[in-house]
Amino acid sequence: MLDYRKFYINGAWVNPANPNDLQVINPATEQPCAVISLGDQADTDAAVSAARRAFATWQHSTKAERLDLLNAIRTEYLKRAEDMAQATTMEMGAPISMSRNQQVTSGTYHIDGFIDALTDFEFEEPVKNGAGEMILKEPIGVSALITPWNWPMNQVFLKVIPAIATGGTCVLKPSEISPLSAQIFSEVMHAAGVPAGVYNMVNGDGVGVGSQLSAHKDVDMISFTGSTRAGKLISKSAADTIKRVTLELGGKGANVVFADADERAVKRGVLHMMNNTGQSCNAPSRMLVEQPYYDEAVEIAAKTAQNHSVGDPATEGRHMGTLASEAQFNKVQDLIQTGLDEGARLVAGGLGRPDGLNCGYYARPTIFADVTPDMTLYREEVFGPVLVMSPFDTEEQAYEMANDTDYGLTNYVQTGDSARANRAARAMRSGMIRINGEGGTGYSPFGGYKQSGNGREGGKWGLEDFIEVKHITGWSS
């Protein structure tokens, strides 16, 4: 069993102030695969203090120095790509092929975007038509970065890299469910030569280290990705010290499918929903289908789900792995039962594990049809492989249904009419719109409206989240 009890503070691996062991569970075997220690206030204080001391000098580093460091991190990360893939599969159950091709590569994808954005980023800008007026863009200071278990490296790179690229310093608290990848990432940072204290990592849970960071007087900013419930608590805790808080929270994305959509639209939507075992905040979890096409779409969706294989994450292939934890498995099962109790029509999947899988947190790819806005599954984020389907009659009704949610992260539209696709993109209230299966790049912003959070990650927007703007008059050039 792996021993990852130490924390990375001030450029060194250190023992916890007061050991508090937690076993990391492999969700495919339900057995321990590693042990970490949960930090306490002394560990949090040590990490924040190291970051605060390092900020005194790192804030004055040049853009060229930071770009050199980012390129060094990228080089070291690529050396550890297979180690990272194996760790991700072990800790949260993503199939190894997916870990290699999506989970790990998301880190490279984002650091490339940040390198490009930083190259063009101007930290000093004269005010237009303002004689002697200058805008300086300065690092916000010490950032606490709290990341989730579902896309470990995706979120670590989206937070750590812009924090240090803008001249700030940071403390990372990864999810206690997926700490193995963060351990390897910290080893990457050390090998890349990140100056002591610029990057620190302390394991812990939300109640402990998470809450301590949120309330800490020497932390200038919190960047959190996770549940909307936790995001609200963090915001309240941070309010006493008026920290900047950026949040990337839940979603209940609508996938609006018009009758003229291409023949693969429904299948594409189902497979997207089942990717990462449905554990993605931007998943297209509500499929809204134009009435003339609805019955056929339900048949296609059911068949796609029934044919989607589920299996051992350690085995290569295009199958679905496990849910990340027992708690997540139980939540998904409870919500499937709620769907049945409230009268939604089950057309694929359902309760329990797939046939032949008696151990591991495996769930069935599940489709519910005829789901109405008053049902729990229409409104609550399942965060599992559960897709709900509902019909609509008119274009206007489709957008009204899509917007009828507390969330606003990503919505989708499938249509052969480009003018209608553009109308849909304008009408739906979310931070991202995806038309006919087209994805984004590492240079684009990621974030949502409403209770899906605030702030944007990725590219120049991700850099700006970690910047303070200073206006100066009487500046001499």
Q: What is the DSSP string of 115-151?
A: HHHHHH--SEEEPTT-TT-EEEEEE--EEEEE--SSS
Catalytic-labelled residue, pool 170, 281, 290, 381: 281
Tell me if residue 359 is catalytic: no
Pairing of strands 134-139, 467-472: antiparallel
What local confidence, expressed as pLDDT, does residue 282 receive? 97
* Confidence (pLDDT) at 442: 66
**Three-state SS for 269?**
helix
How many H-runs (helices) and E-runs (strands) does the chain carry? Answer: 16, 23
- 10 Å Cβ neighbour count for 473? 10
Angle between helices 180-191 and 63-79 (to 10 degrees): 130
Distance CA 446, CA 440 (A): 9
- How far apart CA 95 and CA 279 sit, in angstroms, is 13
Establish whether 281 is a catalytic residue: yes
The pair of three-digit structure tokens given for residue 144, joined into one six-digit string: 């606490």
- Ordered per-residue pLDDT tens for the chain, 477 residues: 999 999 999 999 999 999 999 999 999 999 999 999 999 999 999 999 999 999 999 999 999 999 999 999 999 999 999 999 999 999 999 999 999 999 999 999 999 999 999 999 999 999 988 789 999 999 999 999 999 999 999 999 999 999 999 999 999 999 999 999 999 999 999 999 999 999 999 999 999 999 999 999 999 999 999 999 999 999 999 999 999 999 999 999 999 999 999 999 999 999 999 999 999 999 999 999 999 999 999 999 999 999 999 999 999 999 999 999 999 999 999 999 999 999 999 999 999 999 999 999 999 999 999 999 999 999 999 999 999 999 999 999 999 999 999 999 999 999 999 999 999 999 999 999 999 999 887 689 999 999 999 999 999 999 999 999 999 999 997
Nearest to 398 by CA among 411, 379, 382: 411
- Round to whole Å and give the CA distance between 412 and 421: 10
CA 165 distance to own-chain centroid: 20
3-state secondary structure 142-153: EEEEECCCCCHH
80 neighbors 188 (Cβ within 8 angstroms)? yes
**What pLDDT does 107 receive?**
97
- For the CA atoms of the chain, what is the radius of gyration? 23
Position 23 scores a pLDDT of 98
d(CA 360, CA 44): 34
The structure's pTM equals: 0.97
What does the block give as tokens for 167?
């001249």
Letter for the amino acid at 221? Answer: M
Q: Given this model, what pLDDT does residue 176 score?
A: 98
Cα separations (Å) of 182 from 187, 375, 458?
9, 38, 19
Distances (CA, A) of 90 to 33, 53, 120, 203, 328: 8, 36, 38, 18, 16
Instruction: Specify the pLDDT at position 424.
Output: 98
Closest CA to 139 of 456, 470, 474, 446: 470
Q: Do 248 and 224 touch, CB atoms closer than 8 A?
A: yes
Structure tokens at 304: 């796609």
Domains of the chain listed by start with CATH number: 2-249+452-472 (3.40.605.10), 254-441 (3.40.309.10)
Q: How far apart are CA 334 and CA 444, in angstroms?
A: 36
User: Which residue type, as a one-letter code, is found at position 14?
Assistant: V
Walk across the sheet containing 31-37 and list its strands.
2-4, 31-37, 21-26
pLDDT score at 112? 97
User: If you write DSSP's letter for every residue of 397-438 in order, what string do you get?
Assistant: HHHHHHH-SSEESEEEEE-S-HHHHHHHHHHS-SSEEEETT-
* Catalytic residue from among 76, 248, 290, 381: 248
Can you list the positions of beta strands (E) in 209-268?
221-225, 244-248, 254-257
Tokens of 200: 């620190």
